[in-house]
Amino acid sequence: MFEKVLIANRGEIALRIHRACHEMGIRTVAVHSTADENAMHVRLADETVCIGPPAARDSYLNIPAILSAAAITGADAIHPGVGFLSENANFAEMVEEHGFTYIGPTAEHILLMGNKVSAKRAAKEHGIPVVPGSDAIEDIEVAKAVAERIGYPVLIKAAGGGGGRGMRVARDAQSLVENVPQAQAEAMAFFGNSAVFLERYFDRPRHIEMQILADGQGGVIHVGERDCSLQRKHQKVLEETPSPALNAAERDKLGKVVTDAIRSLGYRSAGTLEFLYQNGEFFFIEMNTRLQVEHPISEEISGIDIVREQIRIAAGLPLGYRQEDFQLTGHAIECRINAEHPETFRPSPGMITSYHAPGGLGVRVDSAIYQGYAVPPHYDSLIAKLIVHGRTRTECLMRVKRALEEFVITGIDTTIPMHRMLIEQPDFINGDYDIHWLERLLGHGT
């Protein structure tokens, strides 16, 4: 097992990885920008290295600085966390080339699944149903021909990235001609790759994802599905597991398809396969070859420490579980708490003047903030994750409501009031929602 792990990330996910390492007797190295010198992951790590100024491109995306920090501290391995370099195949390859172990998939699998076009092709080859669509397109006449074949409306998507960037809906040929260049320009600006492709657009789908763990030695399990349909501008807001839209037969069928494909690929580490679900059918859209922000709810219903398993697998150990070794029990919900105005969603960096996290049975808060901490303006606005587990969905909903009532963060705006409003909605209580439901509720969706 590793003696020292460098955590190439920040905030709550860096703290989450630190905790898993310490429970395994592994020392940690925190890297940080000058803006994060007082961050909690920096305070708690065994060693710290400043790797640059506030801008992410000069610090958390600075590969030479991260590798130098690993070298001078004598780290054995590097965990990329979530975001930043976590799906950068070049980074994974360089980590290994410099004599460190990369806690994640191989660079080849990151590259394969990181491009949505090649990921769909690989998924189809391994028996996973995919959304009808195209390969990468550059010519508008080709795009029009493909759209006619798929049928309008179509979704224009960036081939080299996600998070809603480089994504447009075209409902006819005219809007296709207008939106393809815009999507290409945005894709180039955010991902350095202007390639886009087309997919059939679904009006009322659910966003269902399946969490897997694989050791690259034939051991593969799934840890159930998560329903991530509550989204705003393609960004997840609240997740729950199991999905209220699926029955046991659908869950088991999807789990078998996914684990068979992952075993066939020879994949290792944690991963998440994402699907659109509508009218009883699943369509693969992408795979995230990293830890997910919403992984805690899968941990709550399974009892499996996903980060711990990532570390064990990277150390060459076989997966610590077989599918029959555990049962998925109860229901879990995660609320993403952002430093944003709850109505306008305007970012709200600044000093936290008071902080009180909820507690009690079945309540977990993953966060790196504290009273007196200044939320910097340079990074993602996620500051806390409220994770709640109950024996049933009804019990879980009541516990979420109670926990949100207890949650206090002052000095900055947060989305806690929005979540309090959300969980009171009859459609949400009944589990009757889709990926466009939240934007319709907020008054700026279709």
Place of tokens 């260049």: 181
Q: Which residue segments constitute the domains of the chain, with CATH numbers given?
A: 4-103 (3.40.50.20), 131-200 (3.30.1490.20), 206-442 (3.30.470.20)
pLDDT of 260 above 60: yes
CA 381, CA 339: separation in Å to the nearest integer? 5
Confidence of residue 444 (pLDDT cuts 50, 70, 90): low
pTM for the complete prediction? 0.90
pLDDT, mean over the chain: 95
Confidence of residue 187 (pLDDT cuts 50, 70, 90): confident
Confidence of residue 224 (pLDDT cuts 50, 70, 90): very high
Phi, psi of 144 (to 5 degrees): -65, -40
pLDDT of 88 above 80: yes
Q: How many CA atoms lie within 13 A of 356 on its CB side?
A: 8
Token pair recorded at residue 313:
């697998």
Q: What angle do CA 31, 7, 221 make, to 5 degrees?
A: 165
Tell me the per-residue pLDDT of 34-81, one tens digit each, with 9 for 90 and over.
999 999 999 999 999 999 999 999 999 999 999 999 999 999 999 999
CA 19, CA 69: separation in Å to the nearest integer? 20
Contact 384, 403 (CB under 8 A): no
Tell me the per-residue pLDDT of 266-288, one tens digit each, with 9 for 90 and over.
999 999 999 999 989 999 999 99
Tell me the per-residue pLDDT of 191-219, one tens digit each, with 9 for 90 and over.
888 889 998 998 899 999 999 999 999 99
Of the candidates 431, 433, 435, which has an alpha carbon nearest to the alpha carbon of residue 396? 431
Tell me the per-residue pLDDT of 293-321, one tens digit each, with 9 for 90 and over.
999 999 999 999 999 999 999 999 999 99
Q: Which residues share a beta bridge with 209?
A: 226, 274
Tell me the per-residue pLDDT of 63-76, one tens digit each, with 9 for 90 and over.
999 999 999 999 99
pLDDT at 445: 53
- The number of helix segments (H) and strand segments (E) in the chain equals 15, 20
Beta-carbon neighbour count of residue 172 at 10 Å? 11
pLDDT at 305: 98
pLDDT at 116: 82
pLDDT at 133: 86
Contact 173, 143 (CB under 8 A): no
Burial of residue 21 (CB within 10 Å: 0-12, 13-18, 19+) is buried
pLDDT at 163: 65
pLDDT of 446 above 60: no
* Integer angstrom CA distances of residue 215 from 269, 270, 279: 6, 9, 34
Q: Which string of b and e fits 109-147 if b means at least 16 CB within 10 Å?
A: bbbbbbbbbebbebbeebebebbebbebbeeeeebbebb
Contact 111, 117 (CB under 8 A): no
pLDDT at 192: 82
pLDDT at 194: 87
| Secondary-structure breakdown of the chain: helix, strand, coil percentages, each rounded to the nearest 5 | 35, 25, 35
Tell me the per-residue pLDDT of 119-133, one tens digit each, with 9 for 90 and over.
989 999 999 999 888
Contact 151, 122 (CB under 8 A): no
Active site residue 290: yes
Tell me the per-residue pLDDT of 332-385, one tens digit each, with 9 for 90 and over.
999 999 999 999 999 999 999 999 999 999 999 999 999 999 999 999 999 999
pLDDT at 274: 96
Of the candidates 243, 151, 138, 119, which has an alpha carbon nearest to the alpha carbon of residue 187? 138
Contact 350, 412 (CB under 8 A): yes
Give the distance, in angstroms, between the CA of residue 64 and the centroid of all CA atoms in the same chain: 25
Of the candidates 367, 421, 210, which has an alpha carbon nearest to the alpha carbon of residue 302? 210
Tell me the per-residue pLDDT of 155-173, one tens digit each, with 9 for 90 and over.
999 887 766 778 899 999 9
Q: Give me the amino acid identity at 64.
A: P
The H or E element containing residue 287 is strand 281-288
pLDDT of 410 above 80: yes
User: How many residues would you count in the chain?
Assistant: 446
The single residue of 290, 312, 364, 399 carrying the catalytic annotation is: 290
pLDDT of 150 above 60: yes
